Amino acid sequence: MLILGLETSCDETGVALYDTTRGLLAHSLFSQVDIHVEYGGVVPELASRDHVRKALPLIEEVLAAAECSPEDIDGVAYTAGPGLIGALMVGATLARALAWGWGVPSLGVHHMEGHLLAPMLEPERPEFPFVALLVSGGHTQLVRVDGIGQYRLLGESLDDAAGEAFDKAAKMLDLPYPGGPHIARLAEQGNPDRFNFPRPMVNRPGLDFSFSGLKTYTLNTVNDCREASGLTEQDKCDIARAFEEAVVGTLVIKCRRALQQEQLSTLVMAGGVSANRNLRASLGKALAKEGARVFYPAPEFCTDNGAMIAYAGAQRLLAGQVDGENTAVRARWPMTELPPLNEQQGAGA
């Protein structure tokens, strides 16, 4: 079964072709970072317009790269939510139109399920059940996963997600959007002994997160440095190091706690923040001491991409799930509302 996947939930246009027998055949991604950077964040109207401009050329590019034609495609999967409603509508409208024209089914895919299943694109895949840490731009969640569609929320951010916290901390340090890569770059040059930022909510029971207090602590530290001698480049590096280590430390503590609570030994990490090298190294080291393993996608599949949507869509299309007449995109969409697949359906493809 050959599935075309479209991702247009925010500021990246992703297209991919996934074959349930041969695997990922081709994929392409266009990032809108250069469009939004001068505004310090994503402008929804500009994002929607750029998806309109880029989607069809990317589809043609991916088809050519895979040496496929529209006649070869068996279904079209697209991101139906959560995300920016205008951007979602662009992808949904195009996907449904193509599916109708080609005489194949279409299916709206949950964006976070796409991230959660992205590690399945790798040669070595995790086996169910496992705990998933989802750390994309607007989400920080811990989820117990017993199968595709079998999700139980263990904890989530009560305010800013980790990715949002990175962006806001970067803005305090006069760094460009998106903030995560710039914070990580500066952190490599930071003095680990100068600042010790708090690990929020780690001394409380439960698996929820909160990064608003860390954001305030960071701002106060930035202001203190400015008042003392001006915010130097080394100040920025040291603050970035302390901030990154606080976020990473918090995530590691909560992940260990989640695995212990659920009595599991496999962690899946996905989403844009999962590309952070410090987070990967720290989680791998911490979990190895307890005989647990961590799986994550290749860096190119950590951020929003069409491959994860094509894969997730393929599993559900194989199980016979298709769009209904009243299927709608959703800006907000709890992943726990997704229907499960039967044990024999989709999961092994």
Cite the annotated binding site by residue number.
111, 115, 134-138, 167, 180, 276, 304
| Locus of tokens 């299943």 | 117
Let me know how long the chain is. 349
* Euclidean distance between CA atoms 343 and 268, whole angstroms: 20
* Amino acid code (one letter) for 178: P
Binding-site members for substrate are 134-138, 167, 180, 276
Cα angle 246-42-89, degrees, rounded to a multiple of 5? 120
Q: Where are the beta strands (DSSP E) in the chain?
A: 2-7, 12-19, 23-31, 75-81, 106-110, 130-136, 139-147, 150-156, 266-270, 293-295
* Euclidean distance between CA atoms 317 and 77, whole angstroms: 8
Using CA atoms of 108, 112, 117, 122 in order, give the dihedral in degrees to the nearest 10.
110
Binding-site members for Fe cation are 111, 115, 304
Do residues 214 and 198 touch, judged by C-beta distance below 8 A? yes
* Euclidean distance between CA atoms 306 and 4, whole angstroms: 8
CA distances for 275 relative to 15, 163, 175, 214, 242, angstroms:
20, 11, 19, 21, 18
Show Cβ contacts of residue 279 under 8 Å, excluding neighbours closer than 6 positions. Answer: 135, 247, 248, 251, 252, 269, 273
